[in-house]
Structure 1
Amino acid sequence: MPLLVHGVVPRTPRLDDAAFGDVDAPTLVAGGDLAAIVTEVAEDDLVPSRRMLLRHTQVVEAAAKQTTVVPMRFGVAVPSADRLVEDFLAPAAERLTATIQRLQGHQEYRLRGRYDEPAALRAVLAADPRAARLHGRRGMDAKLELGERVVQGLERRRATDTARALEALRPVVSDVVETAVTDPLDVFALSLLVASDAEDGFDRAVESVAESLAPEVKLELVGPMPAYSFVEEEG
């Protein structure tokens, strides 16, 4: 039966089965100084599904509460424990060990900024007299030009607002991954690697960002979670 690989941890810890709750506890496949967290899985269950993705996430998160985990993306599977050690753990040992050392004592948070549409529109109109004059006109040409100017105004604000957020956050985080946004009202999507002993400062920095960007920008903070965004893709 294939093995689904959830993550890689240092070999020394023994994971507490009780920590996995109603999810079947995984097993560890050791190779050198590392161990892979795995569960046996039927071939049919390798097809992505909400149930299997949720199970994978629960396993990674439960393990991360006990030790440092290098999370694998869902769907990384191997035919046997021997192949897992020979084809993955042994060849990647140096890189995986370095990643574990970098992630030790850290957790990931995700911070999303999104424009409050009425407040952002007011700010754009206040900064663009031409857009303000066009606002409220009924003609199609006026509406099209206004729409273009609003989009351009938000693009200019997005660059500035993102820079302000990063300036406040970089001193209190160990790493940042910025994901491109596609919705016109999205400002930024940041994955932040935060050390456990820096969380108080991080909380204060997020509060500072929220205050400085209000009322135009609303923030959504998710976490803590395993450091999914700070490992290389595997498989």
Structure 2
Amino acid sequence: MAPESTAVYVYGIVPADVEPESHATGVGDCEVAVVRHGEIAALVSPLESDRPLGTPEDLTAHEKLLDGSAAVSPVLPLRFGAVMTDTDAVENELLEANEEEFRAALVELEGRVQFVIRGRYVEDAILRELLDENAEAARLRDEIRDKPEDATRNERIALGELINQAIEAKRTEDTSKVVSELEKLEAMVNQRQPSHEEDAVHIAVLVESARQAELEGMLRQLISDWDGRVELNLLGPMAAYDFVTKRAPEG
């Protein structure tokens, strides 16, 4: 016999009138349910109390459920791995204890969704651009060309530092350009840390769902402007992880 599920996994907070899709599943392929309190509710699923969490499959299930919900309703996501003892704890210790805060957050999220804009420099193109603009970098590049690494170690280090500094400056400039465009959409913006040394842009944006087409049009124009220089991607819509993610109390 399978061990009894004595814990509850909590995904996020939604309006009380939200109903999960039939046969919607979450972590561990368990069926998703709703715990309600007044005008707010929590999306939950049962969890074996001794089951370890943290696999890539768990994270994917967590995000898939929240992102799917965010497409049709405001969702206040909880951090991955939010576990409470039972549904009474979810209602009393999470929903009731934070009712006003959660209601206000859901009102703020009504009609809005998050997207992530990611851009990475095309290596050959950005190097040409930097060498064209930086005479010292070009001199060092010529200095080490066709020479052994051992004989040009200091020059190679200096060139690497110059390139890194130049890419940081380019990243700041290009990110500012994207943020300026996003401000025209009255969007909320969260600049993420680069995840790669050649990242050009890494931004989370919270925008009205009705303006998604405008956002996509803006990205298409940037893709055209930066053709061959930056590879741009738009991820989403998704739950507003960068703006309102909360942590559940220890259950």
Normalising by structure 1, we get a TM-score of 0.90
**What is the aligned partner in structure 2 of residue 161 from structure 1?**
174
Question: 1:69-101: per-residue Cα shift (whole Å, max 9, x none)?
Answer: 211122111112222122111121111111111
Task: Name the amino acid aligned to 1:7.
Answer: G
> Is 1:45–2:62 an aligned residue pair?
no
Pick which of 162-171 and 135-144 moved more.
Answer: 135-144
Tell me: CA distance 1:20–1:42, structure 2 relative to 1, closer, same or farther (3 Å).
closer
Matches within 5 A, 1:1-235: 1-18=6-23, 23-138=29-144, 139-181=152-194, 183-235=196-248
- What is the rounded CA distance, in whole Å, between the counterparts of 1:200 and 1:61 in structure 2? 18
State the distance in 2 between where 1:20 and 1:111 align: 28
**How far apart are the structure 2 equivalents of 1:161 and 1:108?**
21
Residues of 1 paired with 2:108 and 2:23: CA distance? 27
Query: Residue 46 of structure 1: CA displacement?
Result: 4.3
- Deviation per CA, 1:3-57: give whole Å up to 9, x if none: 1001111112333315559954311111121111111100233422223223222
**Residue 182 (structure 1) shift:** 5.0
Return the alpha-carbon distance in structure 2 between the equivalents of residues 54 and 184 of structure 1: 26
Larger CA deviation: 8-17 vs 197-206: 8-17
Q: CA deviation at 1:188?
A: 2.4
Q: How many Å separate the matches in 1 of 2:168 and 2:63? A: 35
Give 1:225 deviation, angstroms: 1.5
Q: Cα 1:59–1:153, aligned 2, differ >3 Å: closer, same or farther?
A: closer
Q: Which moved more, 1:21-30 or 1:98-107?
A: 21-30
Displacement after TM superposition at 1:163 (Å): 0.8
Distance 1:127 1:73, change over 3 A: same
The answer (yes or no) to whether the contact 2:75–2:106 under 8 Å persists in 1 is yes
Aligned residues: 235
SS of the residue aligned with 1:161?
helix
How far residue 175 of structure 1 moved from its aligned partner, in angstroms, is: 0.9
- Partner SS state of residue 17, structure 1: coil
- Contact preservation (8 Å) 1:173, 1:198: no
Cα RMSD between the aligned structures? 2.1
Q: What is the TM-score normalised by the length of structure 2?
A: 0.85
Q: Post-superposition shift, 1:144?
A: 2.3
Q: How far has the Cα of 1:159 moved from its partner?
A: 1.3
Unaligned runs of 5+ in 2: 1-5, 145-151
CA distance in 2, matches of 1:18, 1:229: 28
Distance, in Å, in 2 between the alignment partners of 1:46 and 1:193 is 32
CA distance in 2, matches of 1:149, 1:56: 42
Percent identity (aligned): 27
> Matched residues in 2 for 1:221 and 1:91: separation?
36
Q: Measure, in 1, the Cα distance between the counterparts of 2:30 and 2:217.
A: 38
- Asked if 2 retains the 8 angstrom alpha-carbon contact of 1:110 and 1:221, the reply is yes
Segments of 5+ residues of structure 1 without an aligned counterpart are none
Give 3-state SS (helix, strand or coil) of 1:45's partner.
coil
